[in-house]
Amino acid sequence: MVRLAKVIVKPDQLEQYKAMLKEEAEVSVRIEPGVLTLYAVSEKENPTHFTILEIYADTAAYRAHLQTRHFIDYKTGTKNMVKSLELVETVPLIPEMQIKQDSAALRLTK
């Protein structure tokens, strides 16, 4: 399951939002086997605009992710920071393609 989350954050909440997003993404990838990637980027010209690439092993892994304490803490903690949220369902062009892991990525997941 692959989706994009497009988030616009209130400017005065930007640093706090980034810290909470970073924490949630790192914990999710590290401890949830079904969370394959949560890769977040912000736009250079619009730093309050984020796109998060979410890749899950399957829909069951996604549903399990939504029930975790760290996701619930992120969702409730950022509720008043977010101006808008758009979830975009996608169809992978090459579904069998794997995400390459190098030594830097492996260090992050330990």
Q: What is the pTM of this model?
A: 0.86
Q: What is the pLDDT of residues 33-83, one digit of tens each?
A: 999 999 999 999 999 999 999 999 999 999 999 999 999 999 999 999 999
* CATH code, 2-89: 3.30.70.100
Per-residue burial over 41-77, b = 16 or more CB atoms within 10 Å of its CB, e = otherwise: ebeeeeebbbebebbbeeeebbebbeebebbeebeee
Dist. CA 91–CA 101, nearest whole Å: 22
The closest alpha carbon to 81, from 19, 3, 4, belongs to 19
DSSP H or E segment with residue 105: helix 103-109
Residue 104 or 13, more confident: 13
Predicted confidence at residue 110, as pLDDT, reads 46
CB atoms within 10 A of CB 96: 5
- Would you list the domain boundaries of the chain? 2-89
pLDDT at 107: 53
